[in-house]
Amino acid sequence: MNQKKNEPVIIIDGSLYLYSSYYGFPHFENALGEPFGAIYGMLKMIDNILKKYPNSKKFVIIFDSSKKTFRNKLFKEYKKNRSPMPNSLYIQIQPLFEILKKIGIKILTIPGIEADDIIGSLAFQLEETGNKILIISHDKDMLQLVTKNINIFNKKNNCIITPESIKKKYGIKPKEFIDFLALMGDVSDNIPGVPKIGTKTALSLLNKFSNIRNIYNNIEKIKFLPFRNAKNIAIQLKNNKDIAFLSYKLAAIKLDIPINITSKEMILNKYCSKNTFQIFKSHIFKS
């Protein structure tokens, strides 16, 4: 699966950008009055990425499936705070997939497996075969995947995220982001975390102890640390140990799912901005 030097395999967090495109273009319709904003936003984003990285010849876009995953079995409240997908977005998915297929972009979705787990497993599978990988996402969960060869492009901030940039901003290593989310929780995924531990406290604990296992191995020392409310922090940690380790399991992206995709399937052999626009127009003005 090797590519030429410095030409990354591009992996797009499709589910994330599907929603952001939908809400970014809420009133976009085709000639029949059908919603089309999510499709427009996705194609616009993909085209911009491919223009930004014209030498990258391998490209895959990954979506969630509608089925529940192992995390729902671990924690029934996982993502339960999210509203169901709006029907006006749901009806755009099949037309979007048809367009992506026509323009030569590989779509990957696995029933019962979250997009994050597919992205993580595929990225590490590709890294093991000598590839560089660029994940397109602004989801903070993805930061745990960053390595020397796996970087993230955050479109919102127009920046590349590397191990060095994570260390500089947060003072922790990428893999420690799992521990970070386990301590403070994640509202978007309804991961509980340890009550009353926020960003600053979580980072301070990880800077001192590196991971939650080491935190709990040194739990009696925490009340003596020069933190604000250190005694209360120690009590919260003691009282919520099971929740902390459950949250860790929920936050950790799986890296060992077998991904059956060939190098050939990811190759962009017929993508063209002009053709994409023509196909898009044919869907917009259909009658």
Q: 185-215, pLDDT tens digit by residue? A: 999 999 999 999 999 999 999 999 999 999 9
Burial of 123-153, coded b for 16+ CB within 10 Å and e otherwise, reads bbbbbeeebbbbbbbbbebbbbbbeebbbbb
In this prediction, residue 285 carries a pLDDT of 58
Mean pLDDT across 85-112:
93
Is pLDDT of 67 > 90?
Answer: no
Residue 10 forms beta bridges with which residues? Answer: 59, 134
Is pLDDT of 103 > 70?
Answer: yes
Tell me which amino acid residue 165 is: S
Angle between helices 14-24 and 115-128 (to 10 degrees): 130
pTM, full prediction: 0.92
Helix (H, G, I), strand (E, B) or coil at 195: coil
- Length of the chain (residues): 287
Helix (H, G, I), strand (E, B) or coil at 62: strand
pLDDT, tens digit (0-9, with 9 covering 90-100), for 212-267: 999 999 999 999 998 888 999 999 999 999 999 999 999 999 999 999 998 889 99
Pairing of strands 150-154, 159-161: antiparallel
Q: Which part of the chain has CATH 1.10.150.20?
A: 174-251
CA dihedral 128, 179, 250, 235 (to 10 degrees): 160
Which of 42-51, 225-234, 240-249, 276-285 is the least confident region? 276-285
Q: Could you give the C-alpha distances from 122 to 116, 119, 156, 253, in angstroms and in order?
A: 10, 5, 23, 11
One CATH from 3.40.630.30, 1.10.3720.10, 1.10.150.20, 1.20.1290.10 for 174-251: 1.10.150.20
Is pLDDT of 13 > 60?
Answer: yes
Mean pLDDT across 69-86:
93
Q: Measuring CA to CA, which residue among 43, 24, 105 is closest to residue 267?
A: 105
pLDDT bracket for residue 273 (50, 70, 90): low
Q: pLDDT exceeding 70 applies to what percent of the chain? A: 92
Q: Could you give the C-alpha distances from 202 to 119, 173, 176, 177, 182, in angstroms and in order?
A: 26, 13, 11, 10, 9
Write down the H helix ranges in the chain: 14-24, 37-52, 70-74, 87-102, 115-128, 163-170, 177-184, 199-209, 212-217, 219-222, 230-239, 241-251, 263-266, 273-284
CATH 3.90.470.20: does it fit domain 9-167+253-284?
A: no
Place of tokens 């000639």: 31
Whether 96 contacts 44, CB under 8 Å = no
Q: Which part of the chain has CATH 3.40.50.1010?
A: 9-167+253-284
Strands, sheet with 133-136, edge to edge from the N-terminal-most edge strand: 106-108, 59-62, 9-13, 133-136, 150-154, 159-161
Burial class of residue 227, CB neighbours in 10 A (0-12, 13-18, 19+): middle
Mean pLDDT across 68-76:
93
Instruction: Give the separation between CA 276 and CA 272, rounded to whole angstroms.
Output: 6
- What string of DSSP letters covers 1-41? ---STT-PEEEEEHHHHHHHHHHHSTT-B-TTS-B-HHHHH
